[in-house]
Amino acid sequence: PALQGRVLELGFGTGHAQLALANRPAVAGLDASPQMAAIAAARLRRGGFQPRLVRGLAQALPFPAAAFDTVLATFPAEYILDPATHDEIRRVLAPGGRLVIVPLAQLDDSPYAALVDLVYRLTLQASPRHATELAGSQLQIAGMRFTRRWVSVGGSRALMLVGTTDG
């Protein structure tokens, strides 16, 4: 429900979100990796869909201004912190558009989740399950106001940050 209208996914990776969104009429994806593009395109074709994927950088989006209603970034890399990316996101979003970022996900309480926590403790690292309260608290992108909410997905949950433009 957070993804409205024309959607651009930044960093589509292996194409799982692209496949989930493939029935929508106006979805595109951008990724810098030729390997990810090949994997995602093959996944979409196996699902019976024509890939709408572009290779490029989030800091120089090859799309016209106001071309999208939603920009999605799932588990984004450092590019999401780059001011040039912020400028490009703002440029390609239509007035009233939104930026949806899913910075992390975690397993719900289960024996497997407990095992993952144990592995983190044994390697002297903090488990991502216990480091989520600060996620998104300092996020500022192109003057957007962000709301945070957890969304259940199967046996896990994902943190979703939704930023809105004025418009």
Give the span between the Cα atoms of 69 and 6, in whole angstroms. Answer: 5
End-to-end CA distance of the chain: 19
pLDDT at 56: 96
Smallest CA-to-CA distance from 158 within 148, 146, 150 is with 150
pLDDT at 134: 38
pLDDT at 133: 44
pLDDT at 131: 46
Two structure tokens written together for 74:
């799932």
pLDDT at 9: 97
pLDDT at 110: 63
CB 41 within 8 Å of CB 53: yes
CB 43 within 8 Å of CB 74: no
Give the span between the Cα atoms of 97 and 26, in whole angstroms. Answer: 14
CB 102 within 8 Å of CB 74: yes
pLDDT at 1: 78
Three-class secondary structure assignment of 67-132: CEEEEEEECCCHHHHCHHHHHHHHHHEEEEEEEEEEEEEEECCCHHHHHHHHHHHHCCCCCHHHCC
pLDDT at 115: 66
Cβ partners under 8 Å of residue 78, min gap 6? none
Task: Report pLDDT digits (tens) over 45-83.
Answer: 999 999 999 999 999 999 999 999 999 999 888 888 899
Which ranges of the chain have pLDDT less than 50? 130-137
CB 123 within 8 Å of CB 135: no
